[in-house]
Structure 1
């Protein structure tokens, strides 16, 4: 194991660190983080509108009139999910330009223009998400390079307000970028007969990609990658977040629509699913590790100090104190359970959902929602909370023998240190 860790530190960690800090991935991740409150609100409004409880639906119809009460949820959806791709197109370009030290607002505005030049009006919701991401990246890269060209700057006389000067500095770069996207759209429509880029791209790329991401092997891969990266001190959740977010919103929308129509939900794997049934207490389901230490690791003072400090944050799925304090990072004994537990939990949750024992996740709860409560909220079902509780129990049982071994070693080290001190 020591030889393996040494090899990974030398060969794998430097490459993974570069990927994790890659400016385009960081820009995408930060864009989704900013839009997360809107996604939570939109998901809540849609879930309430389509809550599959006849007594609730009948009560609301009798109080407010048939379907009238759903106008509020519809309006909230129009201001959140319905324009999500517009937010992302702006925010990705904004963040990317800022990473280059350029003016982000202008880059974001240009990205919006480019997105609509491609026909963004047909895909402002999650269906246009991939196109919005690509547009944000490409338009920002072009804009950043053009705005640094002195030949394209409209020089203003002294005394002109800075805001005005900035807008004129971006004038020609903005015109060029948006025109290029408009030309690209015209070529696709005229030469290739593709007038609706958003819909065509969705059917060709995004929809099949979501189907692939919804499989059990992909769920297993997600459960493996995140703790594997964290074991080497890399923020695994942040590194795969751009991937999760691109399938997340559309999958939830399709699930809600299918359930409202009386059909089975088409997508099992999404971010709420992973957060509520796999990342219990944080990556590696470390809430189970905390419980295991309380059960079989109480003889080690050092472990108990770390555990007591980690228990509070762990209830809200924050486990950095445990990862670096116990530690789990680069700890050979904890490598196996830290990787195994999420893979077991995702297996249990996937097949429990697929078999219909537990409803699919259709609500985006904040990732800091405590375990078990998160399972109930995301599925809008008591069975979701029960599944989360079962997974907490499973994680505890798997961690216990490793905690026992690790504790014995820690106690031995503590006794040797005490003997040396004497």
Structure 2
């Protein structure tokens, strides 16, 4: 047991000190207020003031507020709809700070580099078959060659940013650009031969700008060359290539894969079992995979389309993390109902209110669950069992798929109601998995307290 704990401890220390995983984790945490603001926009336009899918369908009076819908729609677009921009800038800033650079310029440079690999030039064609105008990214040479066979000659062009690639579709690219682009920039920045030295009389801000001028130009050239090579070899942009060859296949594999999700949560729980914050250890991997799945569902819900994914970040929180890691709310309830030991009941009583807001350090370290061979078994099992039950409830149509991002501190049941777009069966589904968690923990609680009583008797 000690050797296993030491191995997990070393792995946790490596993950905690890893510059790139830390940058990704911090970027998503820092962007969270914006995503919650976007979730408010989705709730307003789709759950409240909407006469097709929301409260307005049952109470027409609320539709007088429809005049405000453009505000909340814009809020959703500027936050969730532009998440790749925000995450790229924040990751770039984190990498720069880890490399010893201060100031906001690295975030700006990250945004510039992201735009360089995002479609911005479009050609307009006349589709002779549909007898209507159509458009296609002008720098997709292969695509244009194929398109012109049915479209004919280009009749115009325009510049724009392809919105899908600044939303969740471009998230993997945003992370790569923010990390690799800023590392390239840092390599040039550290080279004294590339710094333009200004006289001491020049203000520090101006002198700093000239110092990073050549590194900025060289970084943009390198990223631009990579983009050009990708276009020449594939006929597509780097952003599209990464999405189609990495992000989308990964999402399709994991998006409905209960085994992969259970393995992930066993790893999270194992870290907790040795006293290491499991979610922090894997968030740098979990967020880039499951957050785009969430926003794909949010976008489909907003457009009234079929919801594509069962698993996403909020779904995992709803079924695998309610009450805190290990879904320990079931243990707290079991102790309050069955325990005859005053020490356990005191800890459970203190833990109940924080547990309702998904904070469970009190019970995790108070009982404790850390290095507890008896209670660690349900601590590992409960999240997986609850996720499997949630997976079944969604697939049989009892619980709607999750379509709204909810703050992780939102209490269970309310969480389920909001996450499913205001559906009562989402709330009922969380009540069901709370009962499941209770059933998983209860027999192990009896075994654990029996052992505690024996140890207490032996000590006397």
Q: Do both proteins adopt the same fold according to a TM-score greater than 0.5, normalized to the shorter chain?
A: yes
Distance 1:253 1:75, change over 3 A: same
**Aligned residue in 1 for 2:376:** 335
Post-superposition CA distance 1:180-212 (Å, at most 9, x none): 1011112222x3143433223222221121111
Deviation at 1:415, TM superposition (A): 4.2
Alignment RMSD: 2.2
**Aligned residue in 1 for 2:64:** 63
Counterparts of residues 216-365 of structure 1 (less than 5 Å): 216-259=258-301, 263-297=305-339, 299-365=340-406
Is structure 2 residue 102 aligned with structure 1 residue 103?
Answer: yes
**Could you list the runs of 5+ residues in structure 2 that have no partner in the other structure?**
120-160
Q: Which runs of 4+ in 1 moved over 4 A?
A: 259-263
> Using the alignment, how far apart are the partners of 2:437 and 2:296 within structure 1?
31
Match of 2:28 among 13, 17, 32: 32
**Aligned residue in 2 for 1:78:** 77
Q: Is the 8 A contact 2:21 2:285 kept in 1?
A: no
Post-superposition CA distance 1:190-245 (Å, at most 9, x none): x3143433223222221121111212222222332211221122221112223332
Q: Is the 8 A contact 2:168 2:296 kept in 1?
A: no
> Using the alignment, how far apart are the partners of 2:290 and 2:11 within structure 1?
27
Q: Is the 8 A contact 2:405 2:419 kept in 1?
A: yes
Deviation at 1:261, TM superposition (A): 5.8
TM-score, length of structure 1 as denominator length = 0.90
Distance 1:366 1:62, change over 3 A: closer
Post-superposition CA distance 1:76-101 (Å, at most 9, x none): 12311222111111110111121232
**Could you list the runs of 5+ residues in structure 1 that have no partner in the other structure?**
none
> Using the alignment, how far apart are the partners of 1:406 and 1:287 within structure 2?
17
> Using the alignment, how far apart are the partners of 1:62 and 1:364 within structure 2?
23
Deviation at 1:397, TM superposition (A): 1.7
Distance 1:377 1:393, change over 3 A: same
TM-score, length of structure 2 as denominator length = 0.83
Deviation at 1:106, TM superposition (A): 2.6
> Using the alignment, how far apart are the partners of 1:143 and 1:263 within structure 2?
42
Q: Is the 8 A contact 1:273 1:361 kept in 2?
A: yes
Distance 1:301 1:165, change over 3 A: farther
Q: Is the 8 A contact 1:294 1:304 kept in 2?
A: yes
Q: Is the 8 A contact 2:332 2:351 kept in 1?
A: yes
> Using the alignment, how far apart are the partners of 2:438 and 2:270 within structure 1?
19
Indicate the structure with greater strand content: 2
> Using the alignment, how far apart are the partners of 2:61 and 2:444 within structure 1?
52
Deviation at 1:44, TM superposition (A): 2.7
Is structure 2 residue 452 aligned with structure 1 residue 410?
Answer: yes
Indicate the structure with greater helix content: 1
**Aligned residue in 1 for 2:135:** none
